[in-house]
Chains A and B, each alone.
Chain A
Amino acid sequence: MRLVLAEDHALLRDGLIRILEAHGHEILAAVEHADDLASAMADPSAEAAVLDVRLPPTHTDEGLKAAVAVRAERPGFPVMVLSQYVERIYARELLASGEGGIGYLLKDRVGDVGEFVDALSRIAAGGTVLDPQVVSAVMARQVPVERLTAREREVLALMAEGRSNAAIAGALFVTEKAVGKHTNSIFGKLDLPVAPDDNRRVLAVLAWLGV
Chain B
Amino acid sequence: MTNAGRFRMTGYAALQLLLAVPALVLFVLDVVGGATAAFVVGLGILVVTLPATRWLANVHRRMAGEVLGAPVPASYRPTEGASTFGRLRVSAADPMTWRDVGWMLAALPLALATSLVVLILFVPIVTGIAWWFGVGPIMVARSRIDRWFLSYGTTEQLEQRVEALTETRNQTLDHASAELRRIERDLHDGAQARLAGLGMTLGMAAELLERDPEEAGRMLAEARQTSSAALGDLRDVVHGIHPPVLADRGLKAAIEALAIDLPVPVEVTGTAAVALSAPVESAAYFTVAECLANVAKHSGAGRAWVEIGGTPDLLSVVVGDDGHGGADPSSGTGMRGVARRLAAFDGTMRVSSPTGGPTLVTLEVPCDSSSPRTTPSSGTA
Contact = CB atoms under 8 A, between A and B. Distances in A.
B249 interface: yes
Contacts of A60: 247-249
A111 B247 CA distance: 26
Interface residues of A, number: 17
Interface stretch (B40-48, B138-146, B209-217, B228-236): B228-236
A23 to B, nearest CB: 17
Contacts, number: 41
Contacts of B261: 88, 137, 141
A16 to B, nearest CB: 16
Interface stretch (B51-59, B238-246, B317-325): B238-246
Nearest to B265: A210
Contacts of B262: 141
A89 B260 contact: yes
Most buried by A among B238, B244, B249: B244
Contacts of A137: 261
The B interface is mostly helix, strand or loop, or mixed, namely helix
Interface in A87-126: 87-90, 106-108, 111-112
B228 A89 contact: no
Contacts of B260: 88-89
A112 B245 CA distance: 26
A26 interface: no
A137 to B, nearest CB: 6
B3 to A, nearest CB: 49
Given A60-B247, A61-B249, A85 B227 contact: no
Given A85-B235, A87-B244, A111 B228 contact: yes
A111 B248 contact: no
Contact of A85 (B228, B244, B253): B244
A60 B245 CA distance: 8
B120 to A, nearest CB: 72
A39 interface: no
Interface residues of B, number: 20
B227 A88 contact: no
B194 to A, nearest CB: 12
Nearest to A89: B257
A112 B260 CA distance: 29
B260 to A, nearest CB: 5
A86 to B, nearest CB: 9
A60 B247 CA distance: 7
B231 A108 contact: yes
Nearest to B238: A85
B256 interface: yes
B16 to A, nearest CB: 60
A88 B253 CA distance: 11
Closest 5 pairs (CB-CB, A-B): A60-B248, A89-B257, A108-B228, A61-B248, A108-B231
Interface of A: 54, 60-61, 84-85, 87-90, 106-108, 111-112, 137, 141, 143
